[in-house]
Amino acid sequence: MIGSSRADEPGTSEEGSATLSTSPVAAYALALGDDALILGQRLIEWVTHAPELEEEVALANISLDLLGQARTLLTYAGSFDGRDEDALAYRRAPEQFRCVHLVERPNGDFGATVARQLLFSAYQFELYDALTASADPTLAGLAGKAVKEVAYHRDHASLWTLRLGDGTKVSRGRMQDGLAAMWPYADELFAPDPATAGLVGLGAAVDPAALRPAWTRYVESVLAEATLTVPQMTPAPGGGRSGIHTPEFGALLEEMTSLHLEHPGAQW
């Protein structure tokens, strides 16, 4: 049920504000939170469209895990300048989002979605695993809880990669095509983010480049077992952490924010 809208909703004065908090911790939480939020939104698009009812529930569960992570991270990011999670999720312009391009990519077919899940969850697993040792107690706490969820996401994606890759000729082709569609966007996951680089030395954030060797080992071992080829492709330019997004991002954001725009302050 949608609650009544409130004309005097707090926080609306920030609407359209071009300024984001200058705290590096807030920027870091915002970037990680946006990754989780936008991938969660992409995955929920599968609901009512998944190949099987059981798989639909699996994807929706993963989406809800990501939404939970996003809520914690956005609430934390907003706490630095007095904005709540809804203000950050629903009342920012596209260029104020800090998510990487991989999470914005359209779902494509099931093979492409599985490929994106494999690449992203393998990255997010290493990220949260390292972040459990963060000097920032909120980030460390979130990571400790989320790493268990993401271990399952990674397991889910790996099992499907094996089955599609080492399956029929059609499933193998689709899985390989899906990898090709997502692979160029993996590079950005490990690119340095100038806004938060200072946090690495303080032990609060994780250097993304340091996650790459373990990620490569994991992903390549799954692809080898699935009899798939590791794509050799030129990386996409990236820029998500600076607010540059892919053309499909606008439509995603429009759908995600439509209910909130129509019923400001709506609550379940």
Partner 1 sequence: MSEWPLWEVFVRPRRGLGHAHVGSLHAPDAEMALRNARDLYTRRQEGVSIWVVPAGSITASSPEEKDSFFDPAGDKVYRHPTFYTLPPEVDHL
Helix 53-78 with 24-44: angle, nearest 10 deg:
160
User: Least separation, in Å, of the C-beta of 64 and partner 1?
Assistant: 9
Helix 212-225 with 137-165: angle, nearest 10 deg:
20
Verify binding: residue 169, partner 1, rule CB under 8 A.
no
Which of 12, 17, 61, 257 binds partner 1 (CB under 8 A)? It is 61
Verify binding: residue 254, partner 1, rule CB under 8 A.
no
Measured between alpha carbons, how far is 213 from 158 in angstroms, rounded to an integer? 18
Verify binding: residue 54, partner 1, rule CB under 8 A.
yes
Which of 42, 83, 156, 241 binds partner 1 (CB under 8 A)? It is 156
Which of 9, 15, 95, 155 binds partner 1 (CB under 8 A)? It is 155
> Which one, 133 or 159, has the nearer CB to partner 1?
159
Q: Which of 94, 110, 265, 246 is nearest to 178 (CA)?
A: 110
The site map against partner 1 for 2-41 (x = CB under 8 A) is: ----------------------------------------
> Which one, 221 or 229, has the nearer CB to partner 1?
221
Residue linked to tokens 């952490």:
241
* Residues that contact partner 1, how many (by CB under 8 A): 11
> Which one, 32 or 118, has the nearer CB to partner 1?
118
User: Least separation, in Å, of the C-beta of 51 and partner 1?
Assistant: 9
Those residues with Cβ within 8 angstroms of residue 9's Cβ, 6 or more apart along the chain or in another chain:
264, 265
Verify binding: residue 226, partner 1, rule CB under 8 A.
no
Measured between alpha carbons, how far is 31 from 98 in angstroms, rounded to an integer? 5
User: Least separation, in Å, of the C-beta of 166 and partner 1?
Assistant: 12
From 36-44, 51-59, 108-116, 188-196, span contacting partner 1 (CB under 8 A) = 51-59
Which of 7, 53, 137, 201 binds partner 1 (CB under 8 A)? It is 53
Residues of the shown chain interacting with partner 1 in the complex, contacts defined by CB under 8 A: 52-55, 57-58, 61, 155-156, 159, 163
